[in-house]
Amino acid sequence: MQRVFSGIQPTGVPQLGNYLGAIRNWVGLQKDHDCVFCLVDMHALTVWQDPTALREQTLGQAAVLLAAGIDPKNHILYNQSAVSAHARLGWLFNCVVRLGWLNRMTQFKDKAGKDRENHSAGLYVYPSLMAADIHSFHATRVPVGDDQRQHLELANDIAQKFNHDYGVDFFPLIEPLIPPNAARVMSLRDGTKKMSKSDPSAQSRIELTDTPEDIALKIRRAKTDPEPLPSEEAGLENRPEARNLVSIYSVLSNETIGQVLETFGGSGFGPFKNALVELLVSTLGPVATETRHLLQDKPYLQQVLRDGAERASAISEPIVVEAERLVGFLR
Ligand code: AQP
Give me ligand 1 centre to Cα 20, in Å: 10
111, 161, 223, 298: the catalytic one is 111
Q: Report the pLDDT value the prediction gives residue 331, as an integer from 0 to 100.
A: 87
Quick one: average pLDDT of 134-159? 96
Q: Report the pLDDT value the prediction gives residue 179, as an integer from 0 to 100.
A: 86
Quick one: average pLDDT of 121-141? 98
For ligand 1, mutation pick of 5, 18, 65, 198 (most atoms within 8 Å of CB)? 18
Give me ligand 1 centre to Cα 22, in Å: 8
pLDDT tens per residue, range 297-326: 999 999 999 999 999 999 999 999 999 999
Q: Report the pLDDT value the prediction gives residue 182, as an integer from 0 to 100.
A: 64
Q: Report the pLDDT value the prediction gives residue 24, as an integer from 0 to 100.
A: 93
Give, using CA atoms, the residue closest to atom 10 of ligand 1: 17
Helix crossing, 85-94 with 298-327: angle to 10°? 40
Q: Report the pLDDT value the prediction gives residue 180, as an integer from 0 to 100.
A: 83
Quick one: average pLDDT of 84-106? 97
Q: Report the pLDDT value the prediction gives residue 181, as an integer from 0 to 100.
A: 75
Q: Active-site residue 31, yes or no?
A: no
318 labelled binding-site residue? no
Give, using CA atoms, the residue closest to atom 24 of ligand 1: 196
Q: Active-site residue 197, yes or no?
A: yes
Global pTM value: 0.94
Percent of the chain with pLDDT over 70: 99
Pocket of ligand 1, beta carbon within 6 A? 7-9, 11, 15, 17-18, 21-22, 144-145, 147-148, 183-185, 194-198
Q: Report the pLDDT value the prediction gives residue 144, as an integer from 0 to 100.
A: 92
Q: Active-site residue 223, yes or no?
A: no
pLDDT tens per residue, range 170-228: 999 999 999 887 678 999 999 999 999 989 999 999 999 999 999 999 999 999 999 99
Q: Which domains does the chain have, with CATH numbers?
A: 3-177+298-327 (3.40.50.620), 202-292 (1.10.240.10)
Quick one: average pLDDT of 58-85? 98
Percent of the chain with pLDDT over 90: 93
Give, using CA atoms, the residue closest to atom 23 of ligand 1: 196
For ligand 1, mutation pick of 11, 38, 133, 147 (most atoms within 8 Å of CB)? 147
Q: How large is the ipTM?
A: 0.96
The 3-class secondary structure across the chain, one letter per residue, is CCEEEEEECCCCCCEHHHHHHHHHHHHHHCCCCEEEEEECHHHHCCCCCCHHHHHHHHHHHHHHHHHHCCCCCCCEEEEHHHCCHHHHHHHHHHCCCCHHHHHCCHHHHHHHCCCHHHCCHHHHCHHHHHHHHHHCCCCCEEECCHHHHHHHHHHHHHHHHHHHHCCCCCCCCCEEECCCCCCCCECCCCCCCECCCCCCCHHHCCECCCCHHHHHHHHHHCCCCCCCCCCCHHHHCCCHHHHHHHHHHHHHHCCCHHHHHHHHCCCCHHHHHHHHHHHHHHHHHHHHHHHHHHCCCHHHHHHHHHHHHHHHHHHHHHHHHHHHHHHCCCC
pLDDT tens per residue, range 228-264: 999 999 999 999 999 999 999 999 999 999 999 999 9
